[in-house]
A and B are shown apart, each in its own frame.
With several copies, the nearest count.
Chain A
Amino acid sequence: MLDIKLYNSPEKSTWCPGCGDFGILNAVKQALAMLELYPHEAIVVSGIGCGSKLPHYIHANGFNILHGRALPVAQGLKLANHDLKVIVVTGDGDGYGIGMGHLVHAMRRNTDLVHIVENNQIYGLTKGQYSPTSDKGFVTTTSPDGAIEPAVNPMLLGIANGATFVARGFSSEPKYLAQLIARGIQHRGYALIDVLQPCVTYNKVNTNAWYKQRAYHLEEEEPDYDPTDRVQAFQKAHEWGDRIPLGVIYLDETRPTYEEQVPALKHGPLVKQPLDGTPLEVWEAIKQEFV
């Protein structure tokens, strides 16, 4: 266990007091400390949104991308340097809305990274429009009659689309969350950790109390639950409303990661290969192919 202070950033956070993002930040730091990953060994890649400012508030490599676009950058990064531990942090709008296409394909690919979704069921940074995880009927400035679409179910999404680690955490339980994140980092492949995150300013329905009342620890309440059983996981994934399970909902440890299967990476990370030094004979032989 490293000292958690190692990860303190000089930047002051811009989050509202009471925001769930604080708990998530704390949990990420704890997870890194637990795994003894030094700041330079990990890179936190995020989108745009309140929660996506997280890389500025942790001392670790950080890359703060565009809205909805963290995952493809993270995958490219991992393919170029698979020595780095890649932690992706996005909002729910970011990850499940504008980023949906990338998300589904990232799940299929099973690149080794952990994807933490700060799911406050709202667009925070743009001041409170409904998000893809807002429950049906949720009233905002852009859904004055209540959201019409049923919410995206992240657990189901993960299971159906090939994610190999699908879990749910809660920002008000940072210790528990840290453990989930640590497991996600250790998991070889794409790990989704959806985090219930109260937005104290704009989401007056799904509040901290609302989540607290409903959230339970799956492995405690259902010790026989087997996350590797796809059908069981499928059924469990539907649970939302009165009771919300936390923990690993689905797990598949049998699939290789994407990068393990790329022949060009057999010799180690791409960025550690020399760029030049190809003997002239090789070039001559290639030129000969065109003659």
Chain B
Amino acid sequence: MPIVNDLTIKIGGEAGQGVESSGAGFAKAVARAGLFIYGLQDYMSRIRGGHNFYQVRISEQEIWTFRDAVHMLLPLTTEAVERHWREVVPGGAVLYDVGVRFDEAPLRERGVQLFPMPLMKIAEEQGGSRIMMNTAALGAVAGITEFDFAYIADIIETNFKRKGSAVVEGNLKVARYAYDAGQQQYAAQFPWKLRARPGPQRMVINGNQAIALGAIAAGCRFISGYPMTPATSILEYMNAKSHQFNIVCKQTEDEIAGILFAIGAAHAGARAMCATSGGGLCLMTEALGFAGCTETPLVVVDSQRAGPSTGLPTRTEQGDLLFVLHASHGEWPRIVLTPGTIEECFWAAVRAFNLAEKYQTPVLIMQDLTQSNAIRAVPKERFDFSQVTIDRGKLLTAEELDRIDNYRRHLVTEDGISPRALPGHPNAVYVTTGDEHTEYGFITEEADIRRAQMEKRMRKEEVAQAEMRLPVRYGPEDAELTFVGWGSTYGALREAVDVLNQDGPRANLLHFMEVWPLDWARVGALLAQAKQLVLVEQNYTGQLGRLLRAQTGQTMDKRILKYDGRPISTDEILAGVRGEVRAEVKVYA
């Protein structure tokens, strides 16, 4: 009996062997065939060599994450076999070039099938170049899974056309040949199949692209910053779109300048952002407080990677939550968004710019490496640009300014928000400063003015709270077990909930897509309703759990924590719930 449209393919090899491009290419082909995919990228902090992998999960239903089980492993190196053969399910297969040598015994013992093929030879003979070996491999996979070759042809066309028709032709020939060979040799033995389900188109997009798209949609036309994995691709995407949307993209001398350029641009009136990772955010700390004090709207993305320090530069973590919530000395209002899906990334970016201008203060978006890079097939309508609105808050128009008099940039108001004028109008010539200041923006040291300004600024957080999103619930209202998470773990948790609701115990999820400020009384009430709170985080100390206890008094009953730089899987979460011990995950009850 074939198992249709439910499998995971994993390609492993050295950096520079095209692991990612092949994997992502195959994923896109499958997505075009109307299937859902999730593509997970794992790579080392080096440019060539070492060991990377790419894992594509395919399903007929919408999927939100990867799963541990691999059905087809494509090792480009011996190391790839050694590292991953245990993940292949019995009955699954390893498809490899005959040149890749390894000890076959344990695989056979496990019941893993071996599918050697002369992939390199096919590439050379059919395409004229060894480079096309990955095409051969993917062609073979398609053949073995009996996936409609048209989609493979299609993606080859798309991906290689800028290299010229000869390259396209070569790859097509290689793919076709391998397809046929694979089908002939192994299709009968391999139960997992891929069947196209033509239907509405879906976008194959990662979280950083979604953030960048959201920013552009929100009218962000200024990004400054410094390359840093895994945030660089935001800067790069904005650069790629700079002509089309007239975006000023400035690579600065460092992250300090990165955020300061954005502050300057924001002060002038542009919607401005920067994107970095933890180390860069450290350097932005001082300027963040400055923006808070001067009431400058600003959006900063922290795409987290595993720390401390340089840590694991190409690996994931949720280690910056408490740092982001308290970064910079003294106290000032901030808003922190923690989107948990790729579509949420888009909307978080849109919302961030509106909140930043509405509350005239920095908004931070917490991203992480997994969600930066992982791709999903997302229904197009989730990116409904017609729903994007731009709210510039109390920004004074030229007409309003024409009528204004005695302008005070930091006017004390009930909601703490002051009418904002951009520099350049004769009726609103003002100065502002990171020193404590009067309503006019002049430096002051008077205690009463200080209190009024401090209270005014902090009031913005209190006011914003009312419109911030409470944790989203997934799963039934009543459950034995309530997961608590934030950010990119949404997918893994959501699928864990699904599994548990089939296998028991009854579970649901409270997931924080926004984390500061919140209506903590309501959050507390939500948490209090739960029978058993199970915190799942990708860090060592359970940072969200600490925050929730500080703000609501609620304590987590169980904590499932992972901090080795690899994304936590649904399977690991399930194991944690079920009390199975795994080295990768720490469970505290």
Contact = CB atoms under 8 A, between A and B. Distances in A.
Instruction: Say if the two chains contact directly (CB < 8 Å).
Output: yes
Interface of A: 10-11, 14-17, 38-41, 43-45, 48, 50, 53, 55-56, 59-69, 72-81, 83-84, 97-98, 100-102, 105, 123-127, 129-130, 132, 141-144, 201-202, 262-265, 267, 270-271, 273, 275-276, 278, 280, 282-284, 286-288, 290-291
A254 to B, nearest CB: 23
B431 interface: yes
Q: Give the size range of B's interface with the partner.
A: 35 or more
Nearest to A45: B264
Interface in B384-411: 385-386, 388, 390, 392
Given A64-B433, A275-B271, A40 B390 contact: no
Nearest to B401: A40
Given A16-B48, A129-B227, A270-B246, A65 B290 contact: yes
B236 A142 contact: yes
**Nearest 3 A-B pairs (CB), nearest first?**
A76-B264, A275-B219, A62-B431
A68 B226 CA distance: 12
A243 B524 CA distance: 70
28 contacts: A14-B50, A15-B47, A15-B48, A16-B16, A16-B48, A55-B433, A56-B442, A61-B429, A63-B432, A64-B443, A76-B250, A80-B222, A80-B264, A80-B272, A97-B253, A98-B255, A101-B254, A102-B256, A102-B257, A105-B257, A129-B227, A129-B251, A144-B239, A264-B246, A267-B246, A275-B271, A283-B217, A286-B213
B221 A270 contact: yes
B48 A271 contact: no
B264 A60 contact: no
A59 B279 contact: no
Contact of A69 (B235, B256, B390): B256
Contact of B432 (A64, A124, A262, A270): A64
Interface string B1-20: 00000000000000010000
B529 interface: no
B559 interface: no
A75 B271 CA distance: 15
B205 A290 contact: yes
Given A105-B257, A264-B248, A56 B433 contact: yes
Nearest to A148: B250
Given A72-B256, A77-B267, A81-B424, A125 B432 contact: no
Interface string B260-290: 1111111111111000000100000011001
A280 B386 contact: yes
Interface of A is mostly: mixed
Contact of B429 (A59, A69, A141, A144): A59
A17 B46 CA distance: 12
A102 B253 contact: yes
B423 interface: yes
Given A271-B270, A290-B205, A68 B431 contact: no
Given A66-B286, A80-B272, A286-B213, 11 more contacts: A15-B48, A38-B426, A48-B310, A56-B442, A63-B432, A66-B279, A67-B279, A81-B268, A102-B260, A144-B239, A264-B246
Interface of B: 16, 31-32, 44-50, 201-205, 209, 213, 217-219, 221-222, 224, 226-229, 232, 235-236, 239-257, 260-272, 279, 286-287, 290, 294, 309-310, 380, 383, 385-386, 388, 390, 392, 422-426, 428-435, 441-443
A114 to B, nearest CB: 16
Contacts of A287: 203, 380, 383
B405 to A, nearest CB: 14
A40 B219 CA distance: 25
Given A56-B433, A262-B248, A287-B203, A73 B267 contact: yes
A63 B260 contact: no
Contacts of A39: 426, 429
Given A64-B431, A143-B251, A287-B203, A76 B272 contact: yes
A201 B433 CA distance: 25
Interface of B is mostly: mixed
A129 B252 CA distance: 11
Contacts of A126: 227-229, 232
A195 to B, nearest CB: 19
Contacts of B235: 142
Nearest to B431: A62
B488 to A, nearest CB: 19
A291 B201 CA distance: 7
Contacts of B286: 66, 69
Nearest to B257: A72
Given A127-B47, A142-B239, A286-B213, A100 B201 contact: no
Contact of A81 (B247, B269, B386, B392): B269
A142 B434 CA distance: 27
Nearest to A141: B236
Contact of B254 (A14, A68, A80, A202): A68
A122 to B, nearest CB: 11
Contact of A263 (B242, B253, B270, B430): B242
Contact of B262 (A65, A76, A127, A284): A76
Nearest to A40: B426
A40 B432 contact: no
Contacts of A83: 424
Contacts of B246: 263-265, 267, 270, 273
Contacts of B260: 65, 69, 72-73, 76, 102
A205 to B, nearest CB: 17
B227 A142 contact: yes
Contacts of B229: 126
A127 B428 CA distance: 35
Nearest to A11: B442
A284 B227 CA distance: 29
Nearest to A78: B264
Contacts of A97: 253-254
Nearest to B264: A76
B265 A80 contact: yes
Given A48-B310, A61-B430, A129-B251, A76 B224 contact: yes
A194 to B, nearest CB: 18
Interface centre among A56, A72, A123, A125 (most CB of B within 10 A): A72
A234 to B, nearest CB: 24
A271 B256 contact: no
B268 A77 contact: yes
A22 to B, nearest CB: 12
Interface centre among A63, A130, A141 (most CB of B within 10 A): A63
A33 B285 CA distance: 38
A72 B264 contact: yes
A129 B249 CA distance: 13
Contacts of B218: 275
A268 to B, nearest CB: 10
A127 B376 CA distance: 24
A172 B433 CA distance: 28
Nearest to A96: B253
B257 A60 contact: no
B222 A263 contact: no
A273 B221 contact: yes
Interface centre among A64, A105, A130, A141 (most CB of B within 10 A): A64
Contact of A271 (B203, B242, B268): B268
